[in-house]
Amino acid sequence: MGPTKKKNMPNFRRVYVENSYVFITVLLNNRKRTLLTDYIKNLRAAFKHTQNIEPFGIHAIAIMPEHFHLILKPDDIHAYSKIISLIKREFTKSLPQELRQQLQSEISASKIKKHESGVWHRRFYEKTITTQTELNHITDYVHFNPVKHGLVERAKDWEYSSFRKFVKHGFYDEDWCDFSQIEDFG
């Protein structure tokens, strides 16, 4: 008998830099759904519940119908995976039972075997932010994302982001990235 072959399993390694911000992107399992904005109150409650268990600050956030971008600063840098897991779990539990059953019926046998709900993509994407320039750039990306996805024409028009907070504190002009007034001279 020859050597046993191991499956090629991904080797995820997280970077933990004390006192840093982490940029997170979380996707729904089926990106055609609009659960996050349809059930925005549930998502907000999941964030609040999680903050009570594993404290973290939100630097910037934009919630799209089927994914969200978040720049967070956890009190314990090693806890950001747990934070995302708790948010996902709390949001899922808050959805109507019939919707959860429907989503469960749409997933693969391997996801069912791993007790996945059918709501969320299995993993999330993260990047540790190491400089102020990087933080500024990613904050801009987060706030421009609803415009990029064609949900609104101006960042100020998207109600599910922290953009207005940044305007209120003087970090952005209200018309930041508003190209609607530019005439096409083509």
Q: Is residue 173 part of a domain?
A: no
Point out the least confidently predicted range of 71-75, 115-119, 155-159. Answer: 115-119
Question: 157 vs 71, 167, 174, 178, CA distance in Å?
Answer: 20, 12, 10, 10
Q: Is residue 152 part of a domain?
A: yes
Q: How many domains does the chain have?
A: 1
- Mean pLDDT for 72-79 is 96
Counting runs of H as helices and runs of E as strands, what totals does the chain give? 7, 4
Report which residue type is found at 3: P
Containing structural domain, residue 116: 21-166
Q: Is residue 74 part of a domain?
A: yes
pLDDT at 112: 66
pLDDT at 157: 96
Q: What is the CATH number of the domain that holds 119?
A: 3.30.70.1290
Tell me which residues are annotated as active site: 160
In a 10 Å sphere around its CB, with 0-12 CB exposed, 13-18 middle and 19+ buried, how is residue 154 labelled?
middle
pLDDT at 113: 73
- Tens of pLDDT, residue by residue over 124-144, are 999 999 999 999 999 999 999
Q: What is the pTM of this model?
A: 0.87
